[in-house]
Amino acid sequence: MLQNDSDELLKYKYTFPQKYAAEHISEVREELMRRGIDVLKFDDNTYIECVIWDFPSGWNEVLKEMFSELKSAGWKSDNKLKYNFSFGSITIEGLKDDSKVHLNEIVQRYIKKLHQTCTRCSSQDHVEHFEDEYLCQSCMIETFTKRTVDDFTDIGFKYYTPPIYSNEEGFFQSIRWNEIKQVRLSQEYDNLELELCKLTEDEESKNNDISSSFLRDNYINFNSDSTINFFELLRLLAINFPSESVKEQIDNVLSGLKFCKICDRRAIIINQCKICKNLHSSIENPDKRFIEKFGSAEKFIEYRRNNFLEFKDEYFPVRFIYDNDRSFFRTI
């Protein structure tokens, strides 16, 4: 419903009509006029406003600075900024008209600055690219803390529940082992999905509530690619959930975890290490080429190990999982 769109969204649609159907744009125009927003007065500043609105909020100030510098250098909004959000990740290429060298240099300088600015909070403290965002150290820690299942006891454990709607906050909550009535574990190659359900089969079949809050309260999902302590959770689930078939399934998964000679963690599932990403087969039986190049299999492994240590020092997400995910510690 157009009437529910914010002024910003309507202005955005009108400024980027190519993203929407032509009929929709004439309705957008009418709705804007009805709200007293005159589209005939749209100018360079409207374009700037819309571009900034499109980007993550942490980048607002840097983008404002960029456009004000561009304007002082003679830029006009018909020379649009070429940028793309695909699968959530942002690429900024430069200006549409690449013959204006001095303007493009300004943009290139700001692209660098943006990549050093947190997309959530604007901080410039150790910003790293992670998934679809650029995150500072503290936003990174916050993200990983929310992905960590923790505080395991004989009674239960703690996990994070994300918000359903954008105006809500997520929260940490605890679940008792005895609240879990069904366990569903599925595996696709080296990725495992775990769903814990608070309803019995009977309750589930009688219930057809599919509201978001009902699903959130009764179904808890974890994934081996993103949940920290995932395999630790599986191990304790096998102890605390009274079902032989679930125990057997979990035991199969856990006994399949192999030790990795490169990163010194028990983190290989199927053929790839979850932490250093090395292939088990290429470490156990290195290619002849590598043995010749490095002199021996041991030297090749040593080389890969040093590579990993450098990678870990440079890249926070790997370091965090390496240091904190107890699933992969050798003693477990």
C-alpha closest to that of 67 among 80, 58, 56: 80
Q: Which of 20/322 has CB closer to Zn ion?
A: 322
- Kindly state the smallest distance separating residue 128's Cβ from Zn ion, in Å: 11
Give min distance, CB of 274 to Zn ion, in A: 7
Question: Quick one: 217 or 310, whose CB is closer to Zn ion?
Answer: 310
Q: Which is nearer to Zn ion, 234 or 321 (CB)?
A: 321
The secondary element (H helix, E strand) that includes residue 174 is strand 171-176
Q: Which is nearer to Zn ion, 25 or 121 (CB)?
A: 121
Closest CA to 230 of 331, 129, 324: 324
Q: In the bound complex, what is the minimum distance in angstroms from residue 283's beta carbon to Zn ion?
A: 8
Query: Of the two residues 196 and 275, which places its CB atom closer to Zn ion in the complex?
Result: 275
Smallest CA-to-CA distance from 223 within 258, 186, 174, 168 is with 186
For residues 301 and 286, give the distance between their C-alpha atoms in angstroms, rounded to a whole number: 9
Count CA atoms closer than 13 A to 117's CA, side-chain side: 18
Which positions lie near Zn ion, rule CB under 5 A?
118, 120-121, 123, 136, 139, 260, 262-263, 273, 275-276
Q: How far is the CB of 265 from Zn ion (least distance, A)?
A: 6
Please report how close the Cβ of residue 59 comes to Zn ion at its closest, in angstroms: 11
Angstrom distances, CA of residue 41 to CA of 7, 12, 214:
15, 14, 47
Q: How far apart are CA 200 and CA 208, in angstroms?
A: 13
Tell me the C-alpha distance between 96 and 78, whole Å: 9
55 contacts: CB under 8 Å, gap ≥ 6: 63, 90, 119
Distance of alpha carbon 202 from the chain centroid: 35
157/232 Cα distance (integer angstroms): 11
Element (H, E) at 166: none
Nearest approach, Cβ of residue 17 and Zn ion (Å): 34
∠ CA 159-124-227, rounded to 5°: 20
For the chain, give the number of residues. 332
> What single letter denotes the amino acid at residue 30?
E
Nearer residue to Zn ion within complex by CB, 107 or 192:
192
> Shortest distance, CB of residue 117 to Zn ion, whole angstroms?
9
Min separation Cβ 188 and Zn ion, Å: 21
Q: Which is nearer to Zn ion, 103 or 139 (CB)?
A: 139
For Zn ion, the closer CB: 139 or 228:
139
The CA distance from 84 to 91, in Å, is 5
